[in-house]
């Protein structure tokens, strides 16, 4: 009997499990339809989700519905903006709810939102993107069949939500990150107590200025909720801002035109530890171990309506009296701390809010610092009035407060400044409306940090606050082996400080020695694979200033530049160089151009003028010139040149040779050639016997080069060697491979003894017809391993053939003349021959024979070796 019962129970359990496992497939389409119906009947937006899953096993005896990747996209006037995206949305209900008909309302017990993003936007017209609910008529509102889901919720949970709020009209931005929130209460009742727990991190920006960044907030509160009146009352609560405790009392009530507030809040204790609690723990350390005296209190009252035109009136008081603190492991304490601050609105109009910092003072050792300020007309055109007076020994900061620095600060900061200005004048650069007076100085300042290439030392700097300008009287500093002294004016310091504007000014810089690498510290980054990469140096985007510079010596890379002077305009992450002059390589260089770091790869565009620079030095020490003209290191002398070039810069701000392009035009002065420095010139001399490269006359020779894509082209240039004309042209690459042609216009006398002997057979008039012979040398290979080919042998052979032909033609002409005399001799010749009986006169036949014999002998009678 027992076995039958157990067997029946097992079968029942098996059937139950099968039903629970199969149910999701049975009810899935129904749940999808219910979700879609609920969305479509309530929301005027584009809604999509990846899938809807149903599980009965996970939360038995309840059903769990999971909506994956739920997205709500706004329609006009926020077309395409994402209002909500949720990775997972979990709905929990009783299993029996699944068996209700299509027109019956399903009751939800709880929901959970995970990994969600919410974007709330108010445009400049005051319209919010969250107002997507369909405007139902009264009949539809009262129709239960139009409500697929009914909220009889007992609890809910929001996990890891990110919320962004942006009011475009007032330019206010608020962000909540890592928001986690839970609530427990019976929403089936019209009045309930909701037990909530909330943690998040708050960031707040207004008018482009950040006031809070990732400030930790937490609130554990019991809210008394009246759903009929939409009233929320704080009954029992505990809040923390960072580690500052606050308690709330009062209520918030939703109204048709806004919200009604009646709240008071205060710190539950008056211990000065409350003030340290405002500072993030990463910067304040363990405040429980800090020894404090005195008090710190925050009290406030908020009462009134929040509507489109009004805000609640409020009075917030932050005070501290006779306070001090000392950390247990630090030698110094901060004493005589007085804080007296009020933030007040008495009218309910936002612009009437004002802030009074009536006193802020403290003492470290014997150094006393005081400040006070007030800000009015907060939203339309803030009016600021402030005073700073006192001394701070920066070395004592780290001895009194646990500031996390790799190296401690040193230096004495002194200030005695008053200022009065309005934000509209700051925005529009109406500096005449800004009233400043006083001075500020810093001496003996030392700083080391990863962003600095070398430790930075400010011996002394002083600033004068004039009525409408801030004047830098002195800035005497050193870093590495460099020294700088700067004076000048800052035109819009407040615009830079308060309105995120670029910093404008004009400065004069003087230096005895300026080593560029002392100021350049490229940052290193680590990619996803863990590899470290060096980022290029960036010109700051916040600078818009002009700099007139003079330096006795500037060290750049391996170059020592002397008597450097010029103007630099820094703007939009670029430097424009004007009239930059320097002495180097025994001459001087003038430079104009730009360097920009706005793109990921820095770029440059330069015009250079080289005046009487030493050729061998400049083309040996500058990699760029060395690549453009490798042969120049064999030339002793001076060079005048203009160079136009552009390209990319490497991360250490030197030209990337693979990318440069441009033109070079140069004129050589007082030059000589040292062929021993060049394998190419030695090979050329060995292959062209009549050329002694060391005796080449290069004075006043002009050369024109163009370069692009790693290749250099030399425009054909004319040279002269004794009475030989030379034309040189061709190309080579930055990889040193070359293809050049050297064309010689060679007088025939330089082409060997064979040609010389043949020339001697000609009359002077005939020799003048053979003025010169073209000879070409082709240079290939590389500058260190050249291949030299000439057509010297062919040119000599061609000339010899021409000379032999000329000689042959001459002898044939002589034989023809003799034969003509034989056949048609005049009588005078005959009579002379017959009457002279004392001489043996050749007969005409003999004369012809002898003439032909001589001609043949002259033509073919050379010795074998001459052939």
- Domain ranges for the chain, please list them: 242-404, 800-860
Question: What is the spatial distance between Cα 129 and Cα 168, in angstroms, rounded to a whole number?
Answer: 12
Q: If we measure between CA atoms, which residue out of 67, 76, 68 comes closest to residue 46?
A: 76
Tokens of 707: 């370069």
Q: How far is CA 420 from CA 423, 462, 466, 533, in A?
A: 10, 20, 12, 47
CB 332 within 8 A of CB 316: no
Count Cβ atoms within 10 A of the Cβ of residue 732 and give its class: 0-12 exposed, 13-18 middle, 19 or more buried.
Answer: buried
Tokens of 435: 């009233």
Query: CA geometry: angle at 221 spanning 219 and 227, to 5°?
Result: 125
Q: What are 483-519's pLDDT values in tens digits?
A: 999 999 988 787 887 777 888 889 999 999 998 888 7
Question: What is the spatial distance between Cα 337 and Cα 331, in angstroms, rounded to a whole number?
Answer: 18
With residue 164 as reference, give the H or E element that holds it: strand 149-167
Q: If we measure between CA atoms, which residue out of 771, 794, 792, 799 comes closest to residue 685?
A: 792
Tokens of 243: 């580690």
Question: What is the spatial distance between Cα 61 and Cα 565, in angstroms, rounded to a whole number?
Answer: 85
CB 710 within 8 A of CB 675: no
Q: How far is CA 564 from CA 354, 509, 512, 555, 595, in A?
A: 53, 11, 10, 10, 18
Question: What is the spatial distance between Cα 164 and Cα 424, in angstroms, rounded to a whole number?
Answer: 28
Determine the pLDDT at residue 384.
Answer: 92
DSSP β-ladder status, 635-648 and 603-614: antiparallel
Q: If we measure between CA atoms, which residue out of 315, 385, 396 comes closest to residue 363?
A: 396
Give 6's contacts (C-beta < 8 A, 6+ positions apart).
none
Question: What is the spatial distance between Cα 131 and Cα 136, in angstroms, rounded to a whole number?
Answer: 13
Question: What is the spatial distance between Cα 518 and Cα 477, in angstroms, rounded to a whole number?
Answer: 12
CB 313 within 8 A of CB 351: no
Determine the pLDDT at residue 699.
Answer: 82
Determine the pLDDT at residue 836.
Answer: 45
Which residue numbers in the chain have pLDDT < 50?
1-26, 137-141, 144, 823, 826-841, 843-845, 847-849, 851-867
DSSP β-ladder status, 786-790 and 46-48: unpaired
CB 560 within 8 A of CB 585: no
């Amino acid at each position: 009997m027992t076995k039958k019962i157990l067997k029946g129970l097992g079968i029942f359990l098996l059937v139950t499990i099968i039903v629970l496992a199969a149910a999701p497939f049975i009810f899935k389409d129904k749940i999808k339809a219910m979700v879609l119906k609920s969305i479509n009947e309530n929301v005027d937006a584009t809604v999509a989700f990846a899938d809807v899953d149903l599980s009965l096993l996970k939360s038995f005896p309840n059903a769990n519905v999971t909506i994956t990747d739920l997205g709500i996209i706004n329609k006009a006037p926020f077309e395409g903006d994402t209002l909500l995206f949720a990775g997972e949305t979990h709905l929990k209900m009783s299993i029996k709810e699944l068996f209700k008909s299509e027109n019956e309302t399903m009751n939800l017990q709880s929901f959970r939102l995970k990994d969600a993003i919410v974007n709330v936007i108010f445009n400049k017209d005051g319209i919010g993107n969250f107002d997507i609910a369909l405007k139902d008529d009264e009949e539809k509102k009262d129709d239960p069949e139009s409500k697929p889901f009914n909220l009889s919720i007992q609890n809910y949970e929001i996990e890891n939500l990110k919320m962004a709020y942006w009011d475009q009209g007032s330019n206010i931005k608020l962000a909540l990150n890592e928001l986690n929130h839970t609530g427990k209460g019976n929403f089936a009742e019209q009045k309930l107590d909701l037990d909530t727990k909330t943690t998040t991190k708050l960031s707040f920006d207004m008018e482009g200025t950040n006031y809070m960044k990732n400030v930790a907030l937490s609130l554990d509160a019991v809210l008394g909720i009246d759903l009929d009146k939409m009233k929320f009352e704080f009954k029992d609560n505990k809040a923390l801002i960072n580690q500052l405790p606050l308690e709330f009392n009062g209520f918030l009530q939703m109204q048709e035109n806004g919200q009604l507030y009646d709240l008071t809040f205060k710190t539950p204790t008056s211990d000065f530890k409350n003030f340290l609690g405002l500072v993030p723990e990463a910067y304040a350390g363990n405040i429980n171990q800090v020894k404090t005296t005195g008090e710190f209190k925050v009290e406030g009252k908020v009462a009134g309506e929040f509507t489109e035109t009004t805000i609640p009136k409020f009075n917030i008081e932050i005070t501290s009296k006779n306070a001090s603190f000392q950390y247990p492991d630090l030698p110094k304490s901060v004493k005589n701390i007085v804080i007296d601050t009020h933030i007040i609105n008495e009218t309910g109009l936002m612009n009437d809010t004002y802030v009074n910092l009536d006193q802020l003072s403290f003492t470290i050792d014997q150094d006393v610092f005081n400040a006070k300020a007030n800000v009015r007309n907060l939203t339309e055109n803030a009016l600021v009035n402030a005073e700073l007076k006192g001394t701070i020994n920066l070395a004592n900061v780290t001895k009194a407060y646990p500031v996390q620095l790799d190296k401690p600060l040193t230096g004495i900061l002194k200030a005695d400044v008053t200022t009065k200005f309005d934000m509209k004048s700051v925005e529009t650069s109406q500096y005449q409306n800004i009233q400043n007076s006083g001075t500020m100085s810093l001496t003996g300042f030392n700083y080391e940090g990863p962003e600095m290439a070398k430790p930075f030392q400010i011996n002394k700097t002083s600033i004068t606050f004039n009525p409408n300008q801030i004047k830098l009287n002195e800035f005497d500093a050193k870093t590495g082996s460099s020294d700088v002294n700067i004076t000048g004016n800052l035109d819009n310091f407040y615009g830079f400080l308060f309105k995120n504007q670029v910093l404008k000014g004009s400065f004069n810089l003087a230096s005895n020695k300026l080593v560029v690498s002392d100021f350049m510290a490229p940052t290193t980054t680590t990619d996803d694979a863990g590899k470290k990469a060096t980022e290029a140096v960036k010109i700051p985007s916040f600078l818009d200033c002009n700099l007139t510079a003079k330096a006795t010596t500037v060290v750049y890379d391996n170059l020592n530049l002397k008597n450097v002077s010029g103007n630099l305009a820094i703007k939009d992450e670029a430097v424009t160089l004007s009239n930059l002059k320097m002495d180097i390589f025994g001459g001087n260089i003038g430079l104009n151009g730009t360097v920009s770091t706005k793109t990921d790869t820095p770029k440059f565009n330069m015009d250079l003028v080289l005046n009487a620079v030493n050729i061998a030095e400049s083309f040996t020490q500058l990699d760029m010139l060395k690549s453009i003209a490798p042969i120049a290191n064999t030339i002793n002398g001076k060079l005048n040149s203009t160079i136009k070039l552009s390209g990319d810069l490497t991360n250490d701000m030197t030209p990337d040779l693979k990318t440069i392009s441009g033109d070079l035009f140069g004129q050589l002065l007082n030059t000589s050639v040292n062929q021993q420095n060049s394998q190419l010139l030695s090979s050329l001399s060995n292959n062209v016997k009549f050329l002694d490269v060391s005796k080449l006359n290069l004075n006043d020779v002009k050369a024109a080069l163009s370069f692009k894509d790693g290749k250099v082209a030399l425009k054909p240039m004319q040279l002269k060697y004794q009475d030989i004309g030379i034309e040189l042209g061709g190309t080579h690459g930055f990889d040193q491979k070359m293809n050049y042609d050297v064309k010689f216009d060679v007088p025939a006398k330089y082409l060997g003894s064979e040609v010389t002997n043949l020339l001697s057979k000609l009359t002077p008039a005939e020799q003048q017809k053979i003025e010169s012979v073209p000879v070409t040398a082709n240079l290939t290979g590389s500058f260190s391993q050249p291949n030299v080919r000439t057509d010297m042998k062919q040119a000599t052979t061609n000339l010899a053939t021409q000379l032999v032909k000329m000689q042959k033609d001459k002898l044939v002409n002589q034989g023809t003349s003799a034969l003509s005399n034989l056949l048609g001799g005049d009588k005078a010749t005959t009579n002379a021959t017959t009457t002279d009986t004392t001489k043996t006169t050749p007969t005409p036949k003999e004369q012809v024979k002898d003439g032909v014999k001589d001609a043949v002998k002259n033509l073919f009678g050379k010795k074998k070796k001459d052939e």
